[in-house]
Structure 1
Amino acid sequence: MKVSLFLLFFFIGCSALAYGQMSISTGFSRELTTARGHYKTLASLSPQPGYSSKDLDNVKFPFDKAKADEVLSQKPFYLRSVTLDDFQLPTPPANSSEQTRAELDYLLQLQHNRTAEDVRSSLYMSNVFETPSDVGRSIGYWAGPEQLPMTDTLFAHISRDADFFLWSIKFKYNRPRPYMLDPRIHDLEESLAASYPSGHVTYAYIYAYIYQELAPEFTDLFVGKAYAMAHAREIIGVHYPSDSEGSRIFARQFVNKLFQNAQFLHDFEKAKQEWTVQAGK
């Protein structure tokens, strides 16, 4: 099953267009869109242990307590009163489950069919970070690099909060990377952290949902790029589809909680005014 990143991007983008036309209101909470495609199909399989040897369920990504203590010492900026238990996230499927086996087979199929261009574009997407100024330029809000101090500060605070909860989830489950369960998977990027959820995909969706509120008419573009990021991480063999889906679910809940936070709302409105001013130049 081989679908180009461009077609995936176009499909998910077009289907999200209507979703992006809603205007922001104080304290809103957006619904998570329904899973589709291979995410829906694979999630319908049993996540419970027992499809294969249960010895697999003892395989974990190595836990580094010193690293955990270091990264979790930086507490959230906005969501200081939120705990990990406030997020309703799916538990990753057991290593020995029917679902995990099907996900590994899916990754093997992607690996077999990936082209040089698939690899190039997936690795490029994984290693290029777009600043808010870059995003504004890419959608035509302004023509060249712009100074966006309010927006840059907002995203720095968002990243601090996201890092705390993202790493907390990774350390909670220590899900092994796909190659650890099936050595036939040749991942194209060194993995330095547990698999669930995907950091790249989490941030891709968080940024998509924030940019959606700054430029709602481009929601199709933002969500489409996040979906393409998820597939890119699967193409290069570093994440299971359920990692990607867990990232999407977490990102939606995380951004909803931000928009329930008074300090975030205050800072977001300043960033939104900055975007309005720059876009009008």
Structure 2
Amino acid sequence: MVLRSASAGPVLSSSYARILAKAKAKAKAKAKAKAKAKAKSSFGGAEFELAPAPWEEMRELHLLSHPLNRARAFAWENLGIPAPPDPDFTLHEIADLRAKLTALYDMPMRRAEILDQVSSDQITEILRPLGISEDGFPATIGLIATILDMAERVGYIYKRKFSRLRPNQIAPDLRPFLDNPPHESYPSNHSFQMYCVAEVMARVLPENPGMSELFYVAQRVAENREWAGIHYASDSHAGRELARQFSPYLYLACRRQMRAALREWLQ
């Protein structure tokens, strides 16, 4: 049961507080396990732990080959997505998140779905509409993994640019279902990454009947971050718009992988 205080903020019952604590612990454990698995590389039959390369340092490495571009950076760092909404609209968005978090108490299936999507490597969510598994189509899976990784790094650039606070950093009485990630809110990287995959795969396989569902999956993943209380709706919309504008750069950068993926489907 979720009670309400006189200030209209949600007061969690002890049972829901326990659900919330378990959910956050499970989310942390799952994210840590997936991050560890992602960081492992096989070499000569042995496994080594590889620390993920910091995105800012990787950007600096690329800029070394384009020193004259430093002042204006790369074109894809300056795409025209709108700035976050003003404070008044943000308060309306927080009210919507508060209502969603209250309703989430009675939605165990959605809570489970949110936990399954904790990691940004949504390979299973993506492969299901395509009708394939992780055991086949290696070029397609490699392309998807590359898009997710590239979009994650680009998304951090825009997050740093806008530096929007998370919802409960503005409204401390808000109790998110998941802990805040350690970076800014706008745009949503989950939204951006998933829509980037949908945009590129629609280019590779435009006649595949699963394409419309793939865009739905991207929307669902983005919305679930709102239901979890860690993203505003405008974060999700910005992620989708950024994907629309950034995807032409992915078509160029990933053109060889896109052709290799297409060949798998033509065999």
SS of the equivalent of 1:74 reads helix
Please, which of 65, 71, 74 is the counterpart of residue 55 of structure 2?
Answer: 71
Match of 1:274 in 2: 264
SS of the equivalent of 1:73 reads helix
Higher-strand-fraction structure: 2
Residue deviations 1:114-139 (CA, integer Å, cap 9, x gap): 2233222222233474438x845653
Runs of 4+ in structure 1 over 4 Å off: 134-138
Higher relative contact order (CA 8 A, sep 6+): 1
Match of 1:122 in 2: 114
Deviation at 1:160, TM superposition (A): 4.3
Match of 1:249 in 2: 241
Structure 1 residue 211 and structure 2 residue 211: aligned? Answer: no
Deviation at 1:91, TM superposition (A): 0.5
Deviation at 1:249, TM superposition (A): 0.4
Structure 1 unaligned spans of 5+: 1-68
Which amino acid is the alignment partner of residue 103 of structure 2? N
**Alignment TM-score, normalising by the size of structure 1:** 0.63
CA RMSD, Structure 1 to Structure 2 (Å)? 2.8
Which amino acid is the alignment partner of residue 177 of structure 1? R
Structure 1 residue 235 and structure 2 residue 219: aligned? Answer: no
- Looking at structure 2, the residues matched to 128 and 264 of structure 1 have their Cα atoms a distance apart, in angstroms, of 20
- Equivalences for residues 1-281 of structure 1 within 5 A: 70-75=54-59, 82-94=74-86, 97-114=87-104, 115=106, 116-127=108-119, 129-131=121-123, 135-136=126-127, 138-140=129-131, 142=132, 145-148=135-138, 150-191=139-180, 192-216=182-206, 217-259=209-251, 261=252, 263-277=253-267
Aligned residues: 200
**Alignment TM-score, normalising by the size of structure 2:** 0.66
- Change in Cα spacing, 1:99 to 1:131, as seen in structure 2 (3 Å) is same
Which amino acid is the alignment partner of residue 130 of structure 2? I
Deviation at 1:144, TM superposition (A): 7.5
- Looking at structure 1, the residues matched to 221 and 128 of structure 2 have their Cα atoms a distance apart, in angstroms, of 20
CA contact (8 A) 1:71 1:164 kept: yes
Which amino acid is the alignment partner of residue 221 of structure 1? E
CA contact (8 A) 1:212 1:218 kept: no
Residue deviations 1:27-80 (CA, integer Å, cap 9, x gap): xxxxxxxxxxxxxxxxxxxxxxxxxxxxxxxxxxxxxxxxxx932222499xx9
- Looking at structure 2, the residues matched to 160 and 139 of structure 1 have their Cα atoms a distance apart, in angstroms, of 20
SS of the equivalent of 1:197 reads coil
CA contact (8 A) 1:123 1:232 kept: no
Structure 2 unaligned spans of 5+: 1-52, 67-72
CA contact (8 A) 1:126 1:200 kept: no
- Looking at structure 1, the residues matched to 103 and 186 of structure 2 have their Cα atoms a distance apart, in angstroms, of 24
Q: Percent identity?
A: 23
CA contact (8 A) 2:159 2:186 kept: yes
- Change in Cα spacing, 1:256 to 1:128, as seen in structure 2 (3 Å) is closer
- Looking at structure 2, the residues matched to 143 and 171 of structure 1 have their Cα atoms a distance apart, in angstroms, of 35
Which amino acid is the alignment partner of residue 238 of structure 1? I
CA contact (8 A) 1:201 1:230 kept: yes
CA contact (8 A) 2:137 2:264 kept: no
